[in-house]
Amino acid sequence: MQAEFATDIVFEDRAALAPLYEAISRAAILAVKAEQVAHFLGRRLDARFAQELGSRFSTRIEGTCIKHHMDCAAIKMYDKFGSILRIETTVNNVSFFKHHRTVEQRDGASVFKLAPLKKSIYSLPDLRELLCAANQRYLAFLSELSDDSTGQTDLKRLAEPKDDNGRTYRGFNFFRALDERLLTTLARGEFNISGLRRKHLRAHLPDLSDSQLSRLLKSLRVHGLIKRVGHSYKHYLTAFGRRVVITGLKLKQLIIIPCLAQPTHA
């Protein structure tokens, strides 16, 4: 009736697994949808399916665990002993899984078709293959999750203060009014074509003095958001600057602010 099959990926030490597990577990709980849970377990999701299906993140004494379940089957991921990444598929009724086998009809005829797994010891080789395939599909999904370590590094690089020749330049914050106006100005299309000068900033930030604008340009260069062209006063957004500015502004306007605007219920 019940079975489980685990696939272990062993790391050299805890330090190697810990940051990876934290990243993929956070991404998995947000990225896995109902259709994907069904895919992991080798089932097709349609309107007739009325059983419970979902994902859950839990904290145990041994560590944390992510569990995606569909009816009586589930696939789990957890860190075992801190150095093993375990993917485990469990089922409380092996007939949940289907495979192609010979089925004897009521009229005595034999037909090879897709049918539930038999509750028999002779079904163990087929059951092992089905459970192993579920683990492999989940691992394939995890391997395609984007690595957010670069994004974390970029965000830290943008927000932290930087020192240059004994002077400190503060980081940038998308929720600080001045920084938002500055970063919005940088994202304007015309500056990606013809470049940006101090006079352009003055047009969009008229309340700042020339010395303040010069310091802002210097801070943008120190943080790697813009670069100067040769010995001129013209600047362009760097690849890093374009990526972090456009992404940050979009996230704030399209996701963060609308979510904060939604009413909360006690």
Q: What is the C-alpha separation between 217 and 221, in angstroms, rounded?
A: 6
Please report which helix (H) or strand (E) contains residue 38, including its range.
Answer: helix 34-40
pLDDT of residue 192: 74
74 bridge partner residues: 69, 90
CA distances from 202 to 184, 191, 233 (A): 14, 14, 14
**Token pair recorded at residue 96:** 């949940």
- Name the pTM for this structure: 0.55
pLDDT of residue 32: 83
How far is 122 from 176, CA to CA, in rounded Å?
Answer: 66
Q: Which residue has the higher pLDDT, 149 or 154?
A: 154
Q: Which two tokens stand for residue 193?
A: 């074509």
Whole-angstrom CA distances from 102 to 105, 126, 193 are 10, 13, 67
In this structure, what token pair is assigned to residue 229?
């062209």
State phi, psi for 88 to the nearest 5 degrees: -135, 125
Strands 98-104 and 84-91: unpaired
Q: What's the pLDDT score for residue 107?
A: 80
pLDDT for 129 equals 93
Contact by Cβ (8 Å): 221, 213: no
Would you kindly state where each structural domain of the chain is located, as residue ranges? 3-143, 149-261
- Sort strands 73-80 and 84-91 into parallel, antiparallel or unpaired: antiparallel
For residue 109, give every residue at least 6 positions away whose Cβ sits within 8 Å of its Cβ, in sequence order, or none: none
Fold category of 149-261 in CATH = Arc Repressor Mutant, subunit A (1.10.10)
Q: What is the pLDDT of residues 8-63, one digit of tens each?
A: 999 988 888 887 888 788 778 777 888 888 888 888 776 666 567 777 777 665 66
167-197 pLDDT, tens digit each:
999 999 988 999 999 988 888 877 777 788 8
Residue 122: other Cβ atoms inside 10 A: 7
- The band of 100, judged by pLDDT with boundaries at 50, 70 and 90, is confident
Q: Per-residue pLDDT tens for 225-257?
A: 999 887 788 898 888 888 888 888 877 777 778
- pLDDT for 215 equals 92
What residue type is assigned to position 206 of the chain?
P
